[in-house]
Amino acid sequence: MKKDTGRVRDQLSQRLLALYHMVDENTRFCDVGCDHGYLSIALVQDQVCPSALAMDLRPGPLERAKEHIAQAGLEGNITTRLSDGIEKLSAEEADTVLISGMGGGVIHHILTADEEKTKGIPHLILGPQSQLELVRSYLKEAGYELFSENMVEEDGKYYPIMKVSYRGEHAKDSWEVEGGEDMQKAALMFGPMLLSQQHPVLKEYLLYRQRVVSSIRSQLPKDAAGARKEEVERELSLLGMALSMYEGK
């Protein structure tokens, strides 16, 4: 059972706290894009993880992480490393790798830069902040099994997170939801487990997004045509399908 020791964990944002709870106990943890390093510190302080590797592409954030790690007295448990994605992560060095706090296009690039290495990581925790359909579609087709999903709202922003493991072709079943082909498209856009579980924060997001996209449509010229109009109409249709999962709730 995870210890509730306070300290850095008490300072975590709702997004980081949700990520914290996705990490299994006694796992070797690696945070890609670690920023300030607080998540690694909290996991090691609370003895969820015996060690952690905090990596970032930028020297500035990595230096701040080093300072925070030193202040916590955990230099012997948490290693910092300058790395572009998982480029500097050695094989079998981590059981759980977190890639969060960046756009979906960046995460997709990290996942595909060295697919053999990435597929060899037992667990990936991903938190794309855009292009979720791109990330989920790739994971499904590449053979990653979806283990869990969550979504939190903080300061008016919505953060979906997911935990996956490479399992091969049969893993596609974990991405399926009840309904036809269009509902499957909605699931890849909004999250199959979030939809199936009728996650309350997802419903808030769907209603919010429906208002935003409806406003965009109302501002389009009446004779508008082309890709932008099709994109707006497609999203509104998928939003409506996703919200239909909540009927009666």
CATH number at 192 reads 1.10.287
CATH number for position 121: 3.40.50.150
Among the three residues 131, 154, 175, which one is the final residue of a domain in this structure? 175
Band (pLDDT 50/70/90 cuts) for residue 247 is confident
How many angstroms separate the Cα of 40 from the Cα of each of 28, 64, 202? Answer: 10, 13, 27
Tell me, yes or no, whether 227 and 148 share the same domain.
Answer: no
> What confidence tens digit (pLDDT) does each residue in 73-121 have?
999 999 999 999 999 999 789 999 999 999 999 999 999 999 999 999 9
Tell me, yes or no, whether 20 and 43 share the same domain.
Answer: yes
> What confidence tens digit (pLDDT) does each residue in 35-83 have?
999 999 999 999 999 999 999 999 999 999 999 999 999 999 999 999 9
Tell me, yes or no, whether 169 and 188 share the same domain.
Answer: no
Tell me, yes or no, whether 183 and 248 share the same domain.
Answer: yes
Cβ burial of 81 (10 Å; 0-12, 13-18, 19+) is middle
Tell me, yes or no, whether 181 and 150 share the same domain.
Answer: no
Beta bridge partners of 30: 53, 97
The per-residue pLDDT for 7 is 84
DSSP state letter for 200: H
> What confidence tens digit (pLDDT) does each residue in 144-186 have?
999 999 999 999 999 999 999 999 988 999 999 988 899 999 9
Tell me, yes or no, whether 122 and 229 share the same domain.
Answer: no
**1, part of any domain:** no
Tell me what the mean pLDDT of segment 122-138 comes to.
97
Tell me, yes or no, whether 104 and 130 share the same domain.
Answer: yes
Tell me, yes or no, whether 145 and 182 share the same domain.
Answer: no
Is pLDDT at 5 greater than 60 in this prediction?
no
Among the three residues 147, 175, 203, which one is the final residue of a domain in this structure? 175
Band (pLDDT 50/70/90 cuts) for residue 6 is very low
> What confidence tens digit (pLDDT) does each residue in 194-231 have?
999 999 999 999 999 999 999 999 988 877 778 788 89
**140, part of any domain:** yes
| Locus of tokens 């830069």 | 113
The per-residue pLDDT for 248 is 65
Q: Is 34 helix (H, G, I), strand (E, B) or coil?
A: coil
Tell me what the mean pLDDT of segment 26-40 comes to.
96
How many angstroms separate the Cα of 227 from the Cα of each of 188, 209, 211, 232, 236? Answer: 20, 19, 20, 9, 14
Among the three residues 175, 210, 234, which one is the final residue of a domain in this structure? 175
> What confidence tens digit (pLDDT) does each residue in 11-23 have?
999 999 999 999 9
The per-residue pLDDT for 3 is 43
**40, part of any domain:** yes
CA 141, CA 131: separation in Å to the nearest integer? Answer: 16
**218, part of any domain:** yes
Tell me, yes or no, whether 109 and 195 share the same domain.
Answer: no
Tell me, yes or no, whether 98 and 142 share the same domain.
Answer: yes
Total of domains in the chain: 2
Tell me, yes or no, whether 20 and 142 share the same domain.
Answer: yes
Tell me what the mean pLDDT of segment 133-147 comes to.
97
Domain that holds residue 115: 7-175
**241, part of any domain:** yes
Tell me, yes or no, whether 131 and 243 share the same domain.
Answer: no
**Dihedral (CA of 96, 187, 128, 116) sign:** positive
The per-residue pLDDT for 249 is 60
**2, part of any domain:** no
Spell 149-178 as b/e; 16+ CB within 10 A means b. Answer: bbbbbeeeebbbbbbbbbbeeebbebbebe
**107, part of any domain:** yes
Is pLDDT at 132 greater than 80 in this prediction?
yes
**249, part of any domain:** yes
